[in-house]
Amino acid sequence: MRNNLHYSDKRQTEYKLMNGEIRMLETDVVVVGSGPGGASVALGLAKQGKKVVILERGRHHKRIGSTFAALFLVERCGFRFSQEGLNVFRALTTGGTSVTFCGTAVLPPSWFNDKYGIDLSEYVGEAREEIGINPLPDRLIGPAASRIMEAARDLGFQWNPIDKFIDADRCELKCPHCMLGCTEGAKWTARDYIQEAVDRGATLINRAAVNEVTIENHQARGVQAMTPRGRVTVNAKATVVSAGGMGTPIILQRSGIFDAGQGFFADPLLVTYGIYKGPGSWKDIPMSAGTLELVPEGIVMTDLADPWATFLLNAYWKGWRYLPKFSKYRRYLGIMTKVRDGLDGRINLDGTFSKPITYADRWKIDKGINLAEKILKRAGTDPESIFTTPVRAAHPGGTARIGEVVNTDLETEVKNLYVCDASVIPEPWGLPPVWTIIALGKRLTRRLETII
Ligand SMILES: Cc1cc2nc3c(=O)[nH]c(=O)nc-3n(C[C@H](O)[C@H](O)[C@H](O)COP(=O)(O)OP(=O)(O)OC[C@H]3O[C@@H](n4cnc5c(N)ncnc54)[C@H](O)[C@@H]3O)c2cc1C
């Protein structure tokens, strides 16, 4: 069941016992992180009857769906910046960043198979069936998204509804915002997989931050985690690190794998807004429709409006004179431009990170802004009102790349130590990554079930 936030009594009791009394656990597999990567592996193995322990650094926040609640899910309330000042978002909670994602699904690029011999077709198909990934029906394409689509098509773009992780039967155009957490249970999140894994016997321990992997004779033996009640040691036959593009490289570096975190992509994005006489984008499902025809150039464009607090913050970060624009928040049409950046930057052991926006990145960003402005003008927005937000990023990944830090089976140089999340994506990306990450998790499950 979608977003059933309450684990069964039995599992809750077990969780409390673990947290309160048990200091040492034995399991088949320990999964670090409960985002799409960790959840996909955890559920796959739980279905095979394997003993799975999931260690999640964040809490199991039960209140979602409002600006106030989202502040608690998102790391540092959204105020996380690179050394160069790039704002990067991630959520630390059961389900990871998928709890606040837009629910957009894009297939993995063909180079996964052509270049790395990783054929994900079977696994993406399985995920499509299981989750019900489909474009939104017409009734859920909001008035602003429809206006933008019409204008983009008039200008010759192939601007179409995009596949979504959204169950149309449960979705209404009335809730505050997908990015604040879906309260209708319509948007799939990794919590759905975690819930099912727990129902099948997996153990989830929240507020368990893993520092490093226990390694003996070049073999992973499990992990140690710090919880509010002290240290928990988990001994496991296999260890899967799925702490996300920014969490995983730190754990790997602390475990002696120093190539992790050297270079990463963040998929920089911005939103271009213009005031419209009809309904604005704020109430539409974000990223309902867009164009993927510029993907070869490294640009994706979709309709999108920020939740009000993010709009306000970005107006402030742009400059104090942009703050009054907030008074017209509900009248803006918004178009997001997301670009494929290079693998510049670094995640440091202390959690700080560097991510420059290069000239090549800026070229794509500026092209996106230019096209967005044309579409907004065509849609009938006031040309004088058009402005863009500062650049920010929401898809950190590529920090434990296939071919460099892990092999094509997602195993590191340390035996029985695997990585499964956005970190393993081997090349600059620029696409919504969740469908690919889920597929990688399913593929890793297939391998692990034969060896443990
Ligand atoms: C606003 C927004 C919108 C987005 N929209 C889309 C979209 O529409 N489509 C799409 O495909 N993608 C989207 N994304 C990106 C997508 O959500 C992420 O790329 C995806 O969730 C990454 O999955 P992951 O498993 O790699 O890591 P995460 O989802 O980041 O999960 C990692 C988990 O590991 C935990 N963790 C971290 N460190 C530790 C530790 N030391 N010990 C234990 N646990 C730890 C974290 O708390 C977290 O729960 C969006 C992102 C944002 C911010």
Listed residue (211, 221, 210, 209) closest to 414, CA to CA: 221
Query: Among 41, 97, 128, 177, which residue has the most ligand 1 atoms within 8 Å of its CB, making it the best to mutate?
Result: 97
> pTM of the entire structure?
0.96
- Assess contact for 211 and 191: CB atoms under 8 A: no
Q: Tell me the CA–centroid distance for residue 128 and ligand 1, in Å.
A: 19
Measured by CA distance, the residue closest to atom 15 of ligand 1 is 395
Mutate to test the pocket of ligand 1, among 270, 434, 438 (most ligand atoms within 8 A of CB): 434
Residues with CB under 6 A from ligand 1: 32-38, 55-58, 89-90, 92-93, 96-98, 100-104, 179, 209-210, 242-245, 247, 251, 287, 394-395, 421-422, 432-434, 437
Q: Determine the atom of ligand 1 nearest the C-alpha atom of 55.
A: 43
Q: Which CATH number fits domain 137-162+266-393: 2.60.120, 3.30.410, 3.90.220, 3.30.420?
A: 3.30.410
Same fold, 9-58+93-131+188-261+397-451 and 137-162+266-393: no
- 418: CA distance to ligand 1 center in Å? 17
CB of 202 closer than 8 Å to CB of 49: no
The answer to whether residues 168 and 136 touch, using CB atoms and an 8 Å cutoff, is yes
Rounded to a whole number of angstroms, the distance between the first and last alpha carbons of the chain is: 29
How many whole angstroms from 98 Cα to the centroid of ligand 1? 6
Q: In this structure, what token pair is assigned to residue 358?
A: 């290069």
Which residues are CB-neighbours of 65 under 8 A, at least 6 positions away? Answer: 175, 176, 180, 181, 182, 183
According to DSSP, residue 297 is labeled G
Task: Output the CA angle 99-128-62, nearest 5 degrees.
Answer: 20
Distance 174 CA to ligand 1 centre (A): 25
In ligand 1, the atom with minimum distance to the C-alpha of 434 is: 11
Taking the centre of ligand 1 as the mean of its atom positions, its distance from the CA of residue 61, in whole angstroms, is 15
Please state, in angstroms and rounded to a whole number, the distance separating the CA atoms of residues 123 and 128.
Answer: 9
9-58+93-131+188-261+397-451 has which fold? FAD/NAD(P)-binding domain (3.50.50)
Q: How far is the C-alpha of 44 from the C-alpha of 378, rounded, in Å?
A: 47
Each domain of the chain, given as residue ranges in start order, spans: 9-58+93-131+188-261+397-451, 137-162+266-393
- Ligand 1 centre to CA of 202 (Å) is 20
The closest residue, in CA terms, to atom 19 on ligand 1 is: 395
Between the CA of 255 and the centroid of ligand 1 the distance, in Å, is: 22
Which pLDDT tens digits describe the chain residue by residue (452 residues)? Answer: 344 334 433 444 344 445 555 578 999 999 999 999 999 999 999 999 999 999 999 999 999 999 999 999 999 999 999 999 999 999 999 999 999 999 999 999 999 999 999 999 999 999 999 999 999 999 999 999 999 999 999 999 999 999 999 999 999 887 768 999 999 999 999 999 999 999 999 999 999 999 999 999 999 999 999 998 889 999 999 999 999 999 999 999 999 999 999 999 999 999 999 999 999 999 999 999 999 999 999 999 999 999 999 999 999 999 999 999 999 999 999 999 999 999 999 999 999 999 999 999 999 999 999 999 999 999 999 999 999 999 999 999 999 999 999 999 999 999 999 999 999 999 999 999 999 999 999 999 999 999 98
Distance CA 300, CA 341 (A): 12
Query: How far does residue 275's CA lie from ligand 1's centre (Å)?
Result: 32
